[in-house]
Amino acid sequence: MIDLSLAEIADITGGRPHDIPDPSVRITGPVVIDSRQVEAGSLFAAFDGEHVDGHDYAVRAVEAGAAAVLAARPVGVPAVVVPDVEKALGALARAVVQRLGTDVVALTGSAGKTSTKDLIAQVLQAHAPTVWTPGSLNNEIGLPLTALKATAETRHLVLEMGARGIGHIAYLTGLTPPRIGLVLNVGTAHIGEFGGREQIAQAKGELVEALPAEAEGGVAVLNADDPLVRAMSGRTKARTVLFGEAEDADVRATEVRMAPGGQPAFTLHTPTGCSDVTLRLYGEHHVSNALAAAAVAHVLGMSVSEIATALSGAGTLSRWRMEVTERADGVTIVNDAYNANPESMRAALRALAAMGGSARANGGRTWAVLGPMAELGDASLAEHDAVGRLAVRLNVSKLVAVGGREASWLQLGAYNEGSWGEESVVVSDAQAAVDLLRSELRPGDVVLVKASRSIGLERVALALLEREGEVADR
């Protein structure tokens, strides 16, 4: 964060200084919402959450080195007291980004946001100092916290934007107005909350509506292969850059192929030339993600050779997204359990199938350990059934469906598609899945673990890797 005094912060947020002997004291450290993350010169934002009230930790935060607290009430230590801490945090982020003048790249989509954001971050970081959203902190609190990490040296600010309803992305773009807006796809994630894909498209398109006009440097980067995304070109005054495998895409891929281990390779084409790319990531779905990152990098002036080199060297930054680990005994665990929706579930199964070609050659099998996909509303039964059927079509060796009603739908789809019988099984919970796998896995097997975040199915992968102590932000 750039250097601001407490008086300036009070002015920006509409707050009032309280218990502050010297309003000229400056914030020189990060803005945090967890008192355990306080550094010297920090600003601690006290949120009254569902389980914990940050105001109770205000004294601890100042004792740990925080210069002050952003609070909704006096806390007995130096504080800027505001009517609404969340809105004050957003106002502070907006002011900082405007002062810095950094290029803001915002992206959204139903699937692949975090993986694509990680690719963009790594490619742009090779070009100039870049700050990006950690993990999936893409909401009204996570986004301003990320923006406030930017400094005077930051050239690119890459912000993932999530939405659970109409107006959410419009609000986020108001906090950190983007110059470049990327829309990846319109799928069925949260379809139960939105009501349909058309409503999801309406919400995602709020990003391109917020962009400045082409004459002011605005650029909308859109997926040419998704009709609902391509149509968003009519909702923006910004210049449109298309990416995808369509022939008219400005940034596109040809000669897409898969390595035996499941990593994709392709020839990258941009308006300035072409170059070969071999990704370190697993699954053909990452080709589209890589093209999106390449399109953003092209807009920001990187050459095709620079982009291809950076993409080929990029790895996974965020945990539990197609995180591949081979155990000492030759069993490979694919931990993709951070979240799931129908599109990402299908992509993960196809990646497992690609990895299975190499496994089968060595006598191994493929295992799909799948849990429920949340927030699908009336489409839930059909979507779970379809995923179970796809596992059969892709010749996955064994489906382990974890949970209750949705797990039975997964297995029923598999059974009806291929009459698998004992080749698919429903287990009650994560521990039951672990017990089953520990008794049956053998060297050369590949195990995919995936479900919606609320299910906590990462426990299966971590147990199989004997890393049960790991945790992630929920």
Identify the CA nearest to 344 among candidates 185, 106, 148.
Answer: 185
Tell me which DSSP letter residue 152 carries.
T
112 is in an annotated binding site: yes
Tell me which DSSP letter residue 300 carries.
T
| Residue 312 CB-half CA count within 13 A | 14
113 is in an annotated binding site: yes
- Cβ–Cβ < 8 Å for 182, 115: no
Amino acid at 122: Q
User: Tokens at residue 167, please?
Assistant: 């107006």
E-strand stretches of 309-458: 323-326, 332-335, 366-370, 398-402, 424-427, 446-450
Provide CB contacts within 8 A for 56, sequence distance 6+.
none
E-strand stretches of 320-445: 323-326, 332-335, 366-370, 398-402, 424-427
275 is in an annotated binding site: no
Provide CB contacts within 8 A for 455, sequence distance 6+.
337, 371, 372, 374, 402, 403
| Residue 440 CB-half CA count within 13 A | 15
111 is in an annotated binding site: yes
267 is in an annotated binding site: no
- The rounded distance, in Å, linking the Cα atoms of 284 and 266 is 10
- The rounded distance, in Å, linking the Cα atoms of 59 and 78 is 9
E-strand stretches of 146-246: 156-160, 180-183, 219-223, 239-244
Residues of each annotated binding site: 109-115
- Binding-site residues for ATP sit at 109-115
